[in-house]
Amino acid sequence: MAATAIDGAREASAGRDDAAAPPGGLGTLFAERARQMPGALAFVDQAGREAWCGRPRIAWSYGAAQPMIERLAAFFSGLGLPPEAPVAVCLPAGSETLLTLLALERAGLTPCLLPLAWPRDDLARAVEATGAVAVVTQSVVGALKPAETFRDIAMGYYGLRFVTAFGPQPPDGVLDLDRVMIDERPILAGGGEGAGDRAVRAAGSAAAREPGIVTLARRGGQAGGEPEEIEAALRPASSWIAAACAFLEVAQYEPGERIVHLVAPDDLMGLATGFLAALLTGAPLELHGLFDGPALAASLARGEPTRLVAPGWMEGALAATALPPSVRGLVLLHAAPTRFRARAAATGPIVDVLALEPWALLTRARARGGQVALRLDARSGADADPRVRRDDEGRLSVCGASTQARRVVRGQIEAQLPEWRETPWRADVFAGIVIGVS
């Protein structure tokens, strides 16, 4: 399955003449799936989510999702934003996030993923760091009211021109995306190019970039009350595909499996191991926006062959849970900074993913016995992706197709892409095994 996914991804990212998205974009892969298997399930929301976001659970086939992507893309094009303009996306794990990413790409704009859990001040700094001119968010997520938060941020940051939101009863001053999806009438009059026109113009322009997605990471800030530093990076579609392919080479998803994902698709780790992996393999993706133990148990009890993707801190709880035999393996996601325990916990096939956000993912399969034994040199040589090196102080640098992201500072994109990207992360290694990253 992994080899087939890689071959198909390389062909799709080579840049074919496709009216559904700029060449090489993720929308190209999605449109190809829609042509091949329009009735197949693409992604589905977790059960019971209406209680915390006011939006019903929806299961989207590839064919059903395509017209919704077009409607959203036409709306975003109608805002009249410049080509490739950065648009912040701050949403929980759900179908809205994936439809939005594909629609923004279709409209020739650049999605910037902002984690919903960040506090208001960090979200405001993230908007400035990316130079976002619009936001796509949600009215309510549990006790949070993201649409109100971003409306208030927009009042103090004049570069943020539009705040849009899914969900019931968006606050005053926020554009209603639910209406866009269900109402045949345009929500905005006049103004913009069509989504197709914008996509063709962006793709045909000599100056146009390959479509990409910006992700952000926080680090530092513990000492002296200093705020955490926010680092932003623009990763082109080809690098996203390379990162997902490198993950799949190790994870080895099998035909007929589905992916149940408990981590939000708001960074490299969450998106590459979820939506991108599903897109490359054709596996249905079930997204859980807020953890709900009974809902997860009910989902796993359906008996469908499943790969469960969960944050690493859940390993102990999963080890104490009698998972059904239909769960064929676990993928545990660890975002730096993190510490690893050597003892075995969960049983069965386990894959560990170490995220050096926003630059690289390191994916390793556990040896027999289930103990974490993550080695930096496990995949070496010119064909390894990513390649990793550690200097005398423990600082990690990465290289390879899956690491080809450019730093973004206040909306300005790094001009020169280094062969080796020096990350801010340091690895503690004992007997060749990574015991922690700080």
248 and 227, same structural domain? no
Calculate the average pLDDT of the chain.
Answer: 86
Q: What is the mean pLDDT of residues 284-290?
A: 93
Q: Does residue 378 register a pLDDT over 80?
A: no
The boundaries of the domain holding residue 367 are 237-437
- Per the structure, the count of domains in the chain is 2
251 and 222, same structural domain? no
Q: What is the mean pLDDT of residues 215-223?
A: 77
Domain boundary (176, 200, 232) is at 232
Domain boundary (183, 203, 232) is at 232
Q: Does residue 349 register a pLDDT over 50?
A: yes
Q: What is the mean pLDDT of residues 279-308?
A: 92
Question: What distance, in Å, lies between the first and last C-alpha atoms of the chain?
Answer: 34
224 and 323, same structural domain? no
Instruction: Look at 174-183, 228-237, 299-308 and tell me which has the smallest mean pLDDT.
Output: 174-183
Identify whether the C-beta of residue 186 lies closer than 8 Å to the C-beta of residue 166. Answer: no
291 and 186, same structural domain? no
Q: Does residue 207 register a pLDDT over 60?
A: no
pLDDT at 371: 76
Q: Does residue 219 register a pLDDT over 70?
A: yes
**Which CATH number belongs to the domain containing residue 219 in this structure?**
3.40.50.980
pLDDT at 1: 45
For CA atoms 96, 94, 407, 378, the dihedral sign is negative
Residues contacting residue 41 through CB under 8 Å, at least 6 positions apart: 59, 60, 61, 284
Q: DSSP for 169-229, please give it.
A: SPPTT-EEHHHHHH-SS-SS-S-PPPHHHHHHHHHH-TTPPPPEEEEEEEE---GGGPPPE
150 and 29, same structural domain? yes
pLDDT at 255: 85
414: in domain = yes
26: in domain = yes
Domain boundary (183, 210, 232) is at 232
For CA atoms 139, 96, 73, 113, the dihedral sign is positive
pLDDT at 204: 44
Please give the distance of CA 195 from its chain centroid, rounded to a whole number: 23
pLDDT at 228: 79
Q: Does residue 70 register a pLDDT over 90?
A: yes
Task: Check residue 295 and give left, alpha or beta (phi > 0: left; psi -120 to 50: alpha).
Answer: alpha
244 and 225, same structural domain? no
140: in domain = yes
2: in domain = no
Give how far Cα 119 sits from Cα of 96, 130, 150, Å: 21, 17, 11
pLDDT digits (tens, 9 = 90+) for 9-48: 545 444 433 334 445 689 999 999 999 999 999 999 999 9
110 and 249, same structural domain? no
Token couple for 204: 């045909």
pLDDT digits (tens, 9 = 90+) for 362-375: 999 987 767 787 88
pLDDT at 374: 85
Residue recorded with tokens 């649409």: 147
pLDDT at 12: 45
324 and 209, same structural domain? no
Cα separation, 248 vs 383, whole angstroms: 15
137 and 166, same structural domain? yes
Q: What is the mean pLDDT of residues 319-342?
A: 90
pLDDT digits (tens, 9 = 90+) for 127-168: 999 999 999 999 999 899 999 999 999 998 889 999 999 998
9: in domain = no
337 and 311, same structural domain? yes
125: in domain = yes
Q: What is the DSSP letter of 438?
A: -
pLDDT digits (tens, 9 = 90+) for 240-250: 999 999 999 99
- For the entire predicted model, the pTM comes to 0.89
150 and 256, same structural domain? no
186: in domain = yes
| More confident of the two residues 367 and 118 | 118
Q: Does residue 396 register a pLDDT over 50?
A: yes
- Cα torsion at 9, 10, 11, 17 (round to 10°)? 90
Instruction: Look at 75-79, 219-223, 285-289, 328-332 and tell me which has the smallest mean pLDDT.
Output: 219-223
Q: How confident is the model at residue 59 (pLDDT cuts 50, 70, 90)?
A: very high
Cα separation, 46 vs 271, whole angstroms: 17
255 and 170, same structural domain? no
Q: What is the mean pLDDT of residues 416-424?
A: 94
Q: What is the mean pLDDT of residues 338-350?
A: 75
Q: Does residue 432 register a pLDDT over 70?
A: yes
10: in domain = no
Identify whether the C-beta of residue 110 lies closer than 8 Å to the C-beta of residue 137. Answer: no
**Which CATH number belongs to the domain containing residue 322 in this structure?**
3.40.50.12780
pLDDT at 216: 96
Q: What angle do CA 239, 242, 243 make, to 5 degrees?
A: 90
